[in-house]
């Protein structure tokens, strides 16, 4: 059989069939389509001002490095935008140290300034130490992901603030967003259903606004982009990874996408349509500052300090 | 090991552990708890007026017969309420005929009048004939469930109207409701997300209002009730059953409920909270009457007539 021709350029051999659109794409057209899509998302969701200083949360995995490459490219179209990569070093031996090296190499290659914030420096404990401490004290109710989720979010914000960024971009993909919608429904967490959106609200001047330029990119297409562009990335999973609920939801969504192509996008769009209605009904907490660390928090003692106090 | 004692009466041996509440229940207390729950749902959701004539959609399966038994019992507390069972005979050889006999026996036993409406009589075709016809014409895009869903809903309404009922009760369980919430999100069908509720809106005088007294009862507890009460029911599945999406969602919800007890209830409650907000944003279609059959419809030609026209 003769190789299929790219339905976009009608010249090169196709190497990827995009089920949801019916396109057969060559490597070049595929990569361009991803870059164009990210630009469209940024414009459609009003993610950036022309002169924003944008921090990019870079873990060293495929999604965050693909995002960094694309944002570096888009820079040409937005020359007044400044980029700085921010990496959180949670302190996970044999995992994060490897990812850190990869992030450093990629930032150097792209000529993008790189700022690293570590759990150890910010909180006095690395994640390894936190888990060891929790186990020793018999505090096994919380998973490593539960600690890391709270402390990482805080660390990304601290890093973005340290480099004086106006916004911080994370590489959450369409898969992440659709999973989060279903997880919040399964947990009945309506407030979070409204909160998790492509551009976060400005709730407090100490919070750097978060944007998700990959929110309309399938995870497998982000991985394919990294592969085509020969981006070196870490592909070993975190040794602590244990998000049972997310894994269940991911599996179901992947099966659904396989059977009914476009399902992830449908879920994302349904939530985009629902969100304004939900936002009107929920009570938004007024933010104060944590009595312990001075960071903005909905409670007197922020969640990060609460977790850390239990360990001390 | 000595047998566990019922945590409710503290007298009989327990035979069922209700994970979401932590109770160990004997058969008698379990059955009473289900009956009490249905009464509470009926009251909380304002499902019935004291003198309503209530049609009960009885298929002959465990859920609808358990519902019929409980409503017959509740009759004691609501003596002015009238009950009539309504069964739809879709015309499925070797399946519905058996279920019909079971429904007839149960109604006779309970002394409840029983009205049967058939597809053949209403539409000129049995479901078997519809599927045969569709296959002969190569119209294989729609599954049997797609035809049956539309025509059955219409038939239940026709049956309830024929007996002059004020409302019609269906035996949708908590499982069905939680599955429907997730399915509508996976399909991005926001209008239906708002529409599917314990008490349907009065959208047209020709539609009999639908109520779901089992919407807070787990399917496995409805089955257990039927078992304890020695209710004879049909337990063979429909030969046409093929709802791929619902099966996927059911499997995931069951796994979730196993791991995080109460998940189905959480999903149901989340939607109860969200619904008012969604209802405000969606455009409600004004109902007119179908040009073909004169039944209320959002379109000029109702869905049932559209399907039937394609077959003629």
> Quick check: A252 contacting B, CB < 8 Å?
yes
* CB neighbour class for B115 (10 Å; exposed up to 12, middle 13-18, buried from 19): middle
> Is A87:A58 a contact under the CB 8 Å cutoff?
yes
Counting every residue written for chain A, the total comes to 312
Q: Identify the pLDDT of residue B1.
A: 64
What DSSP string runs through B178-191? HHHHHHHHHHT-HH
* CB neighbour class for B116 (10 Å; exposed up to 12, middle 13-18, buried from 19): middle
pLDDT tens-digit profile of B276-294?
888 887 777 778 889 999 8
Measured distance CA(A243)–CA(A256) in Å, rounded: 20
> Quick check: A183 contacting B, CB < 8 Å?
no
> Quick check: A270 contacting B, CB < 8 Å?
yes
Say if the Cβ atoms of B186 and A274 lie within 8 Å: no
- Report phi then psi at B202, rounded to 5: -85, 90
A271: chain B residues, CB-CB within 8 Å: 185
The torsion region of residue B122 among left (phi > 0), alpha (psi -120 to 50) and beta comes to alpha
Mean pLDDT of B192-204: 90
Q: Identify the pLDDT of residue B247.
A: 84
Helix (H, G, I), strand (E, B) or coil at B210: strand
Torsion of CA A122, A123, A129, A134, to 10 degrees: -150
Greatest alpha-carbon span in chain B: 69
Q: Looking at the predicted structure, is the pLDDT value of residue B66 above 90?
A: yes
A185: chain B residues, CB-CB within 8 Å: 181-182, 185, 267, 270
pLDDT tens-digit profile of B97-139?
899 999 999 999 999 999 999 999 999 999 999 999 888 888 7
Which of B90, B64, B198, B68 has its CA nearest to residue B154?
Answer: B90
Q: Looking at the predicted structure, is the pLDDT value of residue B208 above 80?
A: yes
Q: Mutate which of B182, B189, B252 to disrupt the A interface (most A C-beta within 10 Å)?
A: B252
Say if the Cβ atoms of B248 and A244 lie within 8 Å: no
Mean pLDDT of B153-175: 97
Q: Mutate which of B258, B259, B274 to disrupt the A interface (most A C-beta within 10 Å)?
A: B274
pLDDT tens-digit profile of A279-307?
887 777 778 889 999 888 888 999 999 98
Of A185, A252, A276, the CB nearest to B248: A252
Mean pLDDT of B228-242: 89
Q: What does pLDDT average to over chain B?
A: 92
Say if the Cβ atoms of B185 and A186 lie within 8 Å: no
> Quick check: B270 contacting A, CB < 8 Å?
yes
Given a cut of 50, the residues of chain A with pLDDT beneath it are: none
Say if the Cβ atoms of A187 and B249 lie within 8 Å: no
> Quick check: B108 contacting A, CB < 8 Å?
no
Measured distance CA(B89)–CA(B121) in Å, rounded: 10
Say if the Cβ atoms of B274 and A190 lie within 8 Å: yes
**b/e code B55-88 from CB counts within 10 Å (16+ = b):** bbbbbbbbbbbbbbbbbbebbeebeebbbbbbbb
- Report phi then psi at B189, rounded to 5: -95, 85
Q: Looking at the predicted structure, is the pLDDT value of residue B85 above 80?
A: yes
Q: What does pLDDT average to over chain A?
A: 92
> Is B57:B40 a contact under the CB 8 Å cutoff?
no
Which of B49, B145, B24, B41 has its CA nearest to residue B92?
Answer: B145
Measured distance CA(B23)–CA(B5) in Å, rounded: 10
Q: Identify the pLDDT of residue A203.
A: 85
Instruction: Give the percent of chain A with pLDDT over 90.
Output: 67
Q: Identify the pLDDT of residue B311.
A: 81
> Is A187:B266 a contact under the CB 8 Å cutoff?
yes
Q: Identify the pLDDT of residue B240.
A: 86
> Quick check: A274 contacting B, CB < 8 Å?
yes
pTM assigned to the model? 0.87
* CB neighbour class for A265 (10 Å; exposed up to 12, middle 13-18, buried from 19): middle
pLDDT tens-digit profile of B173-192?
999 999 999 999 999 998 88
Q: Identify the pLDDT of residue A1.
A: 64
Instruction: Give the percent of chain B with pLDDT over 90.
Output: 68
* CB neighbour class for A90 (10 Å; exposed up to 12, middle 13-18, buried from 19): buried
Between B77 and B304, name the one with better pLDDT: B304
The alpha carbon of residue A294 is apart from the nearest alpha carbon of chain B, in Å, by 33
């Amino acid at each position: 059989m003769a190789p299929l021709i790219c339905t976009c350029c009608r010249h090169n051999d196709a190497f990827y069939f995009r089920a949801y659109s019916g396109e057969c794409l060559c490597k070049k057209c595929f990569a361009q389509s991803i870059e164009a899509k990210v630009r469209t998302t940024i414009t459609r969701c009003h993610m950036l001002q022309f002169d924003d200083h944008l921090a990019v949360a870079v873990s060293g995995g495929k999604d965050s490095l693909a995002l960094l490459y694309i944002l570096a490219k888009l820079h040409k179209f937005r020359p007044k935008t400044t980029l700085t990569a921010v990496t959180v070093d949670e302190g996970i031996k044999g995992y994060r140290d490897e990812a850190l090296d990869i992030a450093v190499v990629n930032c150097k290659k792209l000529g993008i300034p790189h700022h690293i914030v570590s759990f150890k420096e910010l909180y006095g404990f690395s994640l390894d130490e936190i888990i060891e401490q929790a186990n020793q004290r018999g505090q096994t109710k919380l998973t490593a992901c539960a600690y890391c989720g709270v402390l990482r979010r805080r660390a990304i914000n601290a890093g973005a603030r340290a480099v004086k960024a106006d916004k911080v971009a994370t590489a959450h993909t369409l898969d992440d967003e659709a999973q989060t919608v279903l997880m919040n429904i399964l947990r009945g967490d309506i407030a979070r259903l409204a909160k998790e959106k492509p551009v976060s609200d400005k709730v407090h001047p100490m919070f750097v606004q978060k944007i998700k330029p990959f929110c309309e990119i399938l995870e497998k297409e982000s991985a394919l982009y990294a592969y085509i562009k020969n981006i070196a990335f870490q592909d070993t999973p975190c040794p602590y990874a244990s998000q049972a609920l997310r894994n269940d939801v991911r599996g179901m969504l992947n099966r659904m996408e396989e059977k009914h192509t476009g399902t992830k996008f449908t879920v994302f769009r349904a939530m985009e349509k629902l969100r304004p209605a939900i936002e009107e009904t929920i009570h938004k907490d007024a933010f104060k500052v944590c009595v312990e660390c001075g960071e903005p928090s909905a409670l007197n003692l922020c969640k990060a300090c609460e977790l850390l106090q239990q360990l001390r």
